[in-house]
Amino acid sequence: MQPSEKYLFKYKGFSFQPDLVTVEVLDSLEDFEIRDSDVFLVTYPKSGTIWTQNILSLICHEGHRDGTENIDLLDRVPWVEYNIRNMDYISRVSPRLFASHLPYYLVPKGLRNGRTKVIYVSRNPKDVLVSYYHFAKFSTKVEEVEDFGIFMERFISGNVLASLWLDHIEGWYAHRDDFNILFLTYEEMKKDLRSTVLKICNFLGKRLTEKEVDTVVNKATFDKMKLDQRANYEFMPSDILDHSKGTFLRKGTIGDWKNIMTVAQNERFDSVFKERMEKLPIKFCWDISDEL
């Protein structure tokens, strides 16, 4: 069963959501004007994007931390390639925070100025796959595939939105010297959120008091975010997310892949991914009890 063109639009070798983007917008990205103070969060889908968007917003916006401003994540950390709210990015006040799933070769060329900060968050690909499979039932913009085995085949051949996970992560690691980039993993965030928040603060040059860090950590936990309407994408229109079918914050753990992948599927996955993954300068964590 081949993926439907209704859900995948290929542009320069990378798959986008056709309803949410145009060729003109994608063509214009290369020259998108970058500021030194901008912060770009880059991820492959289902790797902890919304989580890091929330953390960045909490770190950078006092009004978010203290609850005095009622602004949702999509306005705080909008998507570069999917400008869902038709925001005027030029008039945004600095520091502008952006999220993106773009591969290294499609980001605005100004990002290679060596000053603008990029944060790349990765997650072990089996949990990414499982999260993606469930997300496809809930998002009207991702093709739902009932059979997990078929979805997995699409994932390992890159026939999904954002194309092949391996290409994405390999590309960003291989070109890391072109960017001012901090690499983080979902698993380190899960295991020690406070240290990750401090790492991000340090990278951004943002000094927060102990109490402010506590607030960020507290508001970025899975349970708090799941209930936080500004953070949990409940505000996304139902023509993008069908809220009767799921929640964006689903399980939020490490190792959920073990609950769905069969031994044969796991072996098949490893046979396709393992060799290339071993060459990546990153140690993957596959279970909540694994050491980092």
**What pairs with residue 14 in β-bridges?**
11
CB of 55 to ligand A3P, least distance (A): 8
Specify the 3-state DSSP secondary structure of 179.
coil
Q: How many CB atoms lie within 10 A of CB 87?
A: 13
Quick one: 113 or 266, whose CB is closer to ligand A3P? 266
State yes or no: cis peptide before 18, omega within 30 of 0.
Answer: no
Instruction: Decide: 53 and 42 in contact? Cβ < 8 Å.
Output: no
To 5 degrees, how large is the angle CA 243–CA 46–CA 56? 95
Contacts of 17 (CB under 8 A, 6+ apart): 7, 8, 9, 82, 141, 142, 161
| Phi, psi values for residue 40, rounded to 5° | -110, 125
Quick one: 223 or 267, whose CB is closer to ligand A3P? 223
Quick one: 35 or 250, whose CB is closer to ligand A3P? 250
Is 175 an active-site residue?
Answer: no
Instruction: Decide: 127 and 254 in contact? Cβ < 8 Å.
Output: yes
Quick one: 91 or 238, whose CB is closer to ligand A3P? 238
Quick one: 109 or 258, whose CB is closer to ligand A3P? 258
- Residues at the site binding ligand A3P, with contacts judged by CB under 6 A: 43, 45-51, 127, 131, 134, 190, 220-222, 225, 249-252, 256
CB of 99 to ligand A3P, least distance (A): 9
Q: Which of 101, 134, 168, 243 is catalytic?
A: 101
CB of 275 to ligand A3P, least distance (A): 25
Closest-approach residue to ligand A3P (CB)? 252
CA–CA dist 181, 248 (Å, integer)? 27
Provide, for the chain, the percentages of residues in helix, strand and coil under a 3-state DSSP scheme, each rounded to the nearest 5: 45, 10, 45
Query: Strands 14-16 and 39-43: what pairing?
Result: unpaired
Q: Which residues are catalytic?
A: 101
